[in-house]
Structures are given as C-alpha cells and as structure tokens.
Amino acid sequence: MPWQELQPRQFPAFDKELDGISKQTMDDHYALYEGYIKKSNECRKILKEFDYSEIEGNQVYSPLRAVSVDYTFALLGFKNHELYFGHLGGEGGSPQGRFAEIIGGEYPGGVEMWEQAVRKAASAARGWVMVGYDLNDGSLFNYIMDSQNLWAVYNMVPVLAIDVYEHAYARDFGGTPQGRKDYVDAFFRNLDWDHVNRQLEQAEQAALGASQPALQE
C-alpha cells in the first residue's frame, strides 16, 4: 500500500509519573520525536518529487544523496522513539516471559549476565542500545547504534530500545558517565515488559510467516 505521512501519537508513559525520569525531560524529548516526524515526511516528499530523468546521482555530494542519507536518520529517529516511548510507563523489574526465556538461553550466564551486558552496552553506545530479535535465526542480542541510523542491522527487529543520547538523561541525572548509568537503572525501573514481549511476539510471528511457503492459489 502507498506510504502515508507519519503522525505523532500519544503514549501512556506521558500520563504517568515516571520513577526518576522527569516530565520536563519527557516533554522535551517528545518535541524531538515530532521533529523527526516532520523531517521524515519532508525528506520522503522530496524523494518522490525529484525529476529522476535530470537529477544528478553523485556519490561525493548530490541533493539526492544528501536527502536519501538524512531520510534514514529522520525515519529511524521516529521509529526508535516510537519503541522507546511505547515501552516506558511500566512496573520495571527483571526480564519476564518469552524475552527472559530467549535471552536467558543466549548468554552463558543467563538473564543475570544479560542484565550486566545491556548496562555495559548502554555505557559503550553513543546513541542507542537495541535488544533485537533476528528474523533470520530467532536469536535476541544487544546491538549498539551510534546515532539514529548508524549500525542498524537489517532483519533485526528491536524489541527493547534504550536511548542513551544525553537529551534522554542529562537534565535528570547529569551528563556524566555515572549520570548515564543512573538513568539506565531508572529506565529499567519504568520498563513495561508486557510491551517488550508483545514486540517480541510480533517479531516471532513475522519470522514464522516468512518461513512458510507461499500460499498456492
């Protein structure tokens, strides 16, 4: 179906008092999300209106190249924050359900090792940590991204997204390594594991669907 313009939506996390993450941080963060939507729509429109019979395709610099690259930044800025805001506002705690089952089998030290690993990944990343389900092999793993669009792995469906850009924590915790660690602890206190498990279920269903032979008419 043809693409529809992106629209900002409301998230339950904004109607709740989060533990450690202030309303002001969330509201400022939402404004960034709206900016990603605006620029995604703008870039997509430009890319559909170029005169491709005339436009230059130059790999050093060309308007086509610039908009194409920045479109991935804007679009993933939108997608990353949809997941991030969507799974805040929960009761936190340790991993639950199917997520715990898969991640516990992935790391030799089980869920406890993953909990350490994801926190260290959050200190090592410049933009995001994504815990992603791989549609090709059914595994869950931690991936770091240095910006909205850098190091994204295709066929990896993020089910848990930790925003470690300073805008996510500097106001509440300080823009220091320790501030970031304290923020990541707060993130996990507010995480909605049901949301994470719904994302995972959707990804597992998609993987299952893709492995089935096409329906015969």
Q: Which residues bind Fe ion (CB under 5 A)?
A: 163, 165
* Residue whose CB is less far from Fe ion, 151 or 165: 165
CB of 148 to Fe ion, least distance (A): 8
CB of 191 to Fe ion, least distance (A): 16
CB of 74 to Fe ion, least distance (A): 13
Return the closest-CA partner of residue 196 out of 73, 116, 77, 94. Answer: 94
Query: In whole angstroms, what is the distance from residue 185 CA to residue 192 CA?
Result: 14
CB of 14 to Fe ion, least distance (A): 14
Question: Which residue, judged by CB position, is nearest to Fe ion in the bound state?
Answer: 163
* Residue whose CB is less far from Fe ion, 30 or 111: 30
CB of 167 to Fe ion, least distance (A): 6
* Residue whose CB is less far from Fe ion, 80 or 142: 80
CB of 37 to Fe ion, least distance (A): 13
* Residue whose CB is less far from Fe ion, 103 or 161: 161
List all residues 6 or more positions away from 116 whose beta carbon is below 8 Å from its beta carbon.
109
Q: How far is CA 1 from CA 4, 123, in A?
A: 9, 40
* Residue whose CB is less far from Fe ion, 185 or 204: 185
Q: How far is CA 101 from CA 7, 37, 97, 155, 197, in A?
A: 35, 35, 6, 21, 11
* Residue whose CB is less far from Fe ion, 82 or 163: 163
